[in-house]
Structure 1
């Protein structure tokens, strides 16, 4: 019995419909992302169209059913239901399914009880297998390679867009199949915006340059941030950088199975607050990573989830001062019983270029 079928049994359901592409990949092995799954104790059906049927047959051991205008997804679901016995209680992914899609299913299927699954299906992805950990480690290693190459590229006159393009090129050259998310390059005053969009601004002497980037390897994401100074750092830049570095190292040391996300976040946040920069650290300390870049649980003031060995978390404190600039340092780590294994190896001491 698969984990998805165990979930169905534990929730007292007849079956479950999966539409989130990341959960489809995790449960069925199918990477195409277009389609849906129907799962019950006796059926595992993958529905997709002619663009992906051959791929699906190669990647998944589910029964593949092709949808088209004369045989719609909703009709296929109804056919699956006709093979079931008992009260028709069906689980669905209310956090990702569009209302119009749900309305189509509800009209076509004789379901007595539609049961929203919340984050229960996503939770099946929290503990990574050895194979998943290997893919995630390789994705982070590709980021390390790209960072080592980008340092020689950074110089006054180069635009943020050019830096982003070069980082992305280096990740692809090192084996990335795609980006994990849109690359963030923030220089000078722009670095006070945690998720600044790379623009035409050119790097200048004295700038903080924050680079937040990641790739996908075998579908699994990486996430890394490094901040450097173009030229010599001034005293204020050194102060802020060193506070963030101290907080990041303390956060890494606090990660361990049995700790809550809230407890780990507090360790790093207290250091930044004590240094007088608490108001300039607005986001959480970290998040889980897997097939999707932002997964749960997180390292956050409100997250009381207990960390377990096999989870992947980022540790990424930052200080962002409007009108001055900002610093973020981020590594991706594997939670273990003893602490954590850092999947990143790029240097974190202040680099002055």
Structure 2
């Protein structure tokens, strides 16, 4: 198999120039970024939780530097300073900057919407890693185990995959699959249970999530019919992804399928969000953002029927000039776990 060709890495100089132009337009005199996706976007350190503590990145009209004392690099008389939205309270108080503090995302988020080719390639590698973990999950012994125990096993598989950070991990069985925010607990997994598994991690700085519904030994009554609606909604949302289309159209396409099936009041409120250096960034279906080539997001339609079961399907998709390109290849057929 011919290896995928590497594409050039980030043009940091271009990014910094674009950020400075956006800062001028927003009346922001400086940016102070802690280790985070925004930090990494501008080439600062590792840019996420593994970075050296105190390695702030400061951007002004004339300065781009990492420092433990950001106040010393903020221009005297600065009126507005953009701070990292992931800034901790103690870090904010420790800045000692005499200026109006505003979210740096107002400057950086629009610039991070469209991914460069090397970023899409990196996100694709992260998706492949997440899918390998989900594939390994299918081979585990689920009968008689608890949600918590299986979540622990998946966490180990993520670490073994080279995952730098486990962003989110979900295992829900039976009636717990109907809870969108369910935390794995001590419920024992039994034959006849629906099972919802999702893994979201960070590899080489970029995030990816994959989620699938499984059934143990045999599907519960009516589960396959409900799952087929989620699958149809996923296909409709994917087909809506193309340049110049408002992101809200993706939500509308998904909603029309679920509403028309009779499951409308059980459909998830949100059908996706952008992914990249962060696990939850723009574009988000439901917003007024217009799709453009280079945008990537996690398409995740779901139906949750209280006290019965739920199903969620999550895949990372890139918008290209030719339409949608799924960055993964994990099958969508409902898999029956036989052990």
TM bucket normalised to smaller: 0.7 to 0.9
C-alpha distance 277-326 of structure 1, shift in aligned 2 (>3 A): same
- Secondary structure at the aligned position of 1:81 is classed as coil
User: Residues of 2 paired with 1:306 and 1:33: CA distance?
Assistant: 37
Alpha carbons 1:159, 1:200 under 8 Å: kept: yes
User: Residues of 2 paired with 1:212 and 1:94: CA distance?
Assistant: 28
Count of equivalent residues: 317
Residue 253 (structure 2) pairs with residue 259 (structure 1): no
* Structure 1 stretches of at least 4 aligned residues deviating more than 6 Å after TM superposition: none
TM-score between the two structures when normalised by the length of structure 2 = 0.86
| Cross-structure match for 1:25 | 40
| 1:192-271 correspondence to structure 2 within 5 Å | 192-271=178-257
- Secondary structure at the aligned position of 1:145 is classed as helix
Q: Unpaired runs of 5+ in structure 1?
A: 49-72
CA RMSD between the two structures:
2.2
C-alpha distance 216-97 of structure 1, shift in aligned 2 (>3 A): closer
Deviations 1:5-54 (A, max 9, x none): 22223334443333462211111331116332221221112113xxxxxx
C-alpha distance 37-90 of structure 1, shift in aligned 2 (>3 A): farther
Q: Unpaired runs of 5+ in structure 2?
A: 1-12
C-alpha distance 117-216 of structure 1, shift in aligned 2 (>3 A): closer
TM-score between the two structures when normalised by the length of structure 1 = 0.83
- CA shift for structure 1 position 207: 0.6
- Secondary structure at the aligned position of 2:196 is classed as strand
- CA shift for structure 1 position 297: 1.7
| 1:33-44 correspondence to structure 2 within 5 Å | 34-35=53-54, 36-44=56-64
- Secondary structure at the aligned position of 1:306 is classed as coil
- Larger Rg, first or second structure (1 or 2): 1
| Cross-structure match for 1:91 | 81
- CA shift for structure 1 position 116: 5.3
C-alpha distance 94-147 of structure 1, shift in aligned 2 (>3 A): closer
| Cross-structure match for 1:273 | 259
Task: Choose from 119, 122, 127 the match for 1:132.
Answer: 119
| 1:1-12 correspondence to structure 2 within 5 Å | 2=16, 3-12=18-27
Task: Choose from 247, 254, 276 the match for 1:290.
Answer: 276
